[in-house]
Amino acid sequence: MAERTSAADTVDRAETEVIETPATVRDDPHPRARLVVASALLLFVELAMIRWLGANVVHLSYFSNFVLLGSFLGGGLGFMRARGRNLTWTSPILLAALVAFVTFFPVEINQSSSQIIYFTSVKTSGLPIWLTLPVIFILSAAVMAGIGQAVSRFFLVLPALDAYRFDVLGSIIGIVAFTLLSFLRAPSLGWGVIAAIGYVAVMRWRPGLPVFAGLALIIGLLTYETVQPGISWSPYYKVKVQNANNGNTVHINVNGVPHQTIQTVAFRKRHGSVYIKPYKRLPNTGLDNVLIVGAGSGSDVALALSEGAQHIDAVEIDPRIRDIGVSRNPDHPYQDPRVSMHINDGRAFLQQTHAKYNLILFALPDSLTLVSGASSLRLESFLFTKEAMEVARDHLTPNGGFAMYNYYRQRWLVNRYAGTLRDVYGHPPCLDQVGTYGHLDALSIAMDSSQQQCVRTWHAKVANTPAPATDNRPFPYLKTRTIPRIYIIGILGILVASLLGLRLASRSPFRGIRSYTDLFFMGVAFLLLETKNVTGFALLFGTTWIVNAFVFGGVLVAVLAAVEYTRRWRTPPFWVVYVLLLLALAAAWLVPSSSLLAMSYAPRLIAAVALAFAPIFLANVAFAKRLAEVGDATVAFGANLIGAMIGGCVEYTSLAIGYRSLLIVVAVAYAVAFGFYARQRRALAV
């Protein structure tokens, strides 16, 4: 090993300030502790980039896992370069370049695809998508390559399984740290400070002038962002509050996009707002109990109170938006004793409550972000499925009614929702339209069609009414079972960039990956399995940030448990582990997540954990067994990370086949992995 690194040892330290070769890592008195720090930094920076970039570049609302894929690519390239010239010092400098690029060229609105609905009529600003996304992807990968190399070098001097267990432990610390900051609603400056400390610690507290300058630039830019008036952070959004010039309206922008307005009830009634329409169309039998999903800053709640609601369950997923309503809404609806506030996912609340309502209102519950790790799942996706509408119907009184309104930019989307309501209730809803393209539409429907008072009843030809979204394919904004062209172009660009990156990282990268083809396919399968678990738990327990943190943290704990099991006890042969894994996947297929919804909370949680984490545990027993016998842990781990990136690309097939069918793709990928492993063992035996 000393011969391999002798050239790197002679690199001019004046050029890079700090150069750590495998030899110096080997001489580190605390390699395991520093591996934990480096791994924690790796995941923390990845999560911070996903949150911060998504808050400032609206293109990433359509490509939620774009930064994730870049991170996997970068991590894989870093492992491929474990024995190469040290590049860890470049990571904070490149991160500073990325932060500067996005700070000076933010993208606030994107409506470039007619296949993907975005609820706004504001025009696009910022650099074009064909320039912004490649720059972000390349810089994200380069940032993570430097940290990945820092992690990989400890795999050269520690036993593979020993290094892997401390790598996973560091990842757990990274996600816990970021989850804690989300809970505290820390601004981006807090993320930058933690990342800077991590970088300095990884570099043995001797970062050098170039690194120090990069970290200072990051802190300076994030400080500038944090001190801007009206800026705050929720667990989901970067929130900006502004007063309108007319003095009657407060605008709430999130992630650079107009999201909500706070107006008095008197103002809305005076201007003939669509928000009043459901109260005119639905049965006037009293509003003893009302449910408002997407209560937001309280304007819809105030209107319901003015219409005589005796009790309101106001459900809002974002605590920061609720707090703004408490402090800024002039009607003070949340201070009214008739209002019960619930910070929860709307679908989850419907599944948990036993209450009956005279009126259930979906009040613009559209998010402006996607669930991390699930490329096409929005916060409200499971709220607009046919199954969700059936759950809402079952919570209505016999004389009750349901209504929903939003800025429906495409007529076919109105038809989809109206057709879903017709299928669920057995008759068409009332349709009210205020304005033209890009303005508000309201759909109102009563349990009893004779009690509807429609000025206009919705009717549409079957050919113009897309099929309802379902819990298996919760993509209400995708008109047909297809992968939109914008995604296909993005995926092709990612693959081209990956090929170039692999070629630059190693003279013969594909030869190394070919030696560990089974680990490559394990990476493909594991990313898809993780995605399936994220969406499954979102359906069962809500698409909240807490649920997502639980799933990602649970995945890492299951991985750590598998590693410890493999280290401490004798494991079955590979073929037995793979058979058990395929049986666990078959069980998850035979017992879909939707079948658990009827269970009470505790049994549902137990069943969901068993079905979701059993395959993860077994998959990582197989991975740990394989990692323990590899000849080059860094190349093997790099191949696995590259496979995970490809799995992120394959994930987009869920748009066409649904999330449940991803389990079939996962099973095939693991079967292929075992096939390559078995072939390799036979070749060695000969």
Kindly tell me if the per-residue pLDDT of 5 is higher than 70.
no
> What is the CATH number for 523?
1.20.1250
pLDDT for res 510 = 64
pLDDT (tens digit per residue) in 311-325: 999 999 999 999 999
Instruction: State whether 353 and 451 are in the same domain.
Output: yes
The reply to whether 9 and 138 lie within a common domain is yes
pLDDT value at residue 141: 95
What is the rounded average pLDDT of the residues 520-532? 95
Q: How many Cα atoms occupy the beta-carbon half-sphere of 207 within 13 Å? A: 19
Q: Residues 39, 174: contact at Cβ < 8 Å?
A: yes
Residues 166 and 36 sit within 8 Å (Cβ to Cβ): yes
Of 175, 201, 233, the residue that ends a domain is 233
- Residues 111, 141 within the same domain: yes
Same structural domain, 75 and 29: yes
pLDDT (tens digit per residue) in 614-624: 999 999 999 99
* 353-362, 371-380, 477-486: segment of lowest average pLDDT: 371-380
Rounded (5°) CA angle 569-572-577: 120
- Whether 17 has a pLDDT exceeding 70, the answer reads no
- pLDDT score of 436 more than 60: no
Residues, the chain, total? 686
Answer whether residue 11 shows pLDDT above 60: no
Flag whether pLDDT at 340 surpasses 60: yes
Residue 478, pLDDT score: 85
Say if residue 110's pLDDT is above 50: no
Confidence class for position 272, pLDDT limits 50, 70, 90: low
Return the pLDDT at 27.
63
657 with 630, same domain? yes
Residues 263 and 306 in one domain: yes
Contact 547, 373 (CB under 8 A): no
| Beta strands 312-316; 238-243: pairing state | unpaired
Confidence band (pLDDT; 50, 70, 90) for 686? low
Residue 328 maps to which CATH number?
3.40.50.150
Q: Are residues 168 and 87 in the same domain?
A: yes
Which of 233, 256, 274 is a domain's end point? Answer: 233
> 25 or 572: whose pLDDT is higher?
572
> Of 429, 464, 499, at which residue does a domain stop?
464
Residues 411 and 264 in one domain: yes
Residue 511 is predicted with a pLDDT of 67
Q: Are residues 134 and 186 in the same domain?
A: yes
Shared domain for 315 and 458, answered yes or no, is yes
pLDDT (0 to 100) of residue 369: 53
- 579 versus 600: the higher-pLDDT residue is 579
For residue 379, tell me if it sits in a domain: no
Q: Are 300 and 275 in contact (CB under 8 A)?
A: yes
pLDDT confidence of residue 499: 86
257 by DSSP, 3-state: which? Answer: strand
Concatenated DSSP letters for 14-68?
HHHS----HHHHHT-S-HHHHHHHHHHHHHHHHHHHHHHHHHHBGGGGT-TTHHH
Cβ–Cβ under 8 Å, residues 578 and 521:
no
What is the pLDDT confidence band of residue 109, given thresholds at 50, 70 and 90? low
The pLDDT tens digits for 133-185 are 899 999 999 999 999 999 999 998 899 999 999 999 999 999 999 999 999 99
Q: Is residue 380 part of a domain?
A: no
**Domain membership flag for residue 372:** no
pLDDT at 514 over 60: yes
Q: In the chain, how many domains are there?
A: 3
The answer to whether residues 510 and 440 belong to one domain is: no
Q: What confidence tens digit (pLDDT) does each residue in 220-250 have?
A: 999 999 999 999 999 988 999 988 766 678 8
| Confidence tier at 372 by pLDDT (50, 70, 90) | very low
Side-by-side strand order, sheet with 440-446: 339-343, 312-316, 290-293, 357-363, 396-407, 440-446, 430-433
Over residues 39-74, the pLDDT tens digits come to: 999 999 999 999 999 899 887 876 768 899 999 999
* pLDDT band of 26, cuts 50, 70, 90: low
Rounded to the nearest integer, the mean pLDDT of the chain is 87
Which of 347, 342, 421, 340 minimizes the C-alpha distance to 379?
Answer: 347
Q: Terminal CA-to-CA distance of the chain, rounded, Å?
A: 29
DSSP 540-581: HH-S-HHHHHHHHHHHHHHHHHHHHHHHHSPPPPHHHHHHHH
Domain of residue 517: give its range: 482-686
Cβ atoms of residues 539 and 380 within 8 Å: no
Residue corresponding to tokens 């999560």: 47
Return the pLDDT at 389: 97
Is position 600 within any domain?
A: yes
Instruction: Specify if 439 maps to a domain.
Output: yes
In 38-50, which positions are buried (b, 16+ CB within 10 angstroms) versus exposed (e)? bbbbbbbbbbbbb
469 found inside a domain? no
Q: Please check whether residues 352 and 430 belong to one and the same domain.
A: yes
* Segment 378-424, tens digit of pLDDT: 778 899 999 999 999 999 999 999 999 887 767 888 999 999 999 99
pLDDT band at 501 (very low <50, low <70, confident <90, very high): confident
pLDDT at 24: 55
Classify residue 572: in a domain, yes or no: yes
Residue 19 lies in a domain: yes
What pLDDT shows up at residue 9?
Answer: 36
Q: pLDDT tens-digit profile of 640-672?
A: 999 999 999 999 999 899 999 999 999 999 999
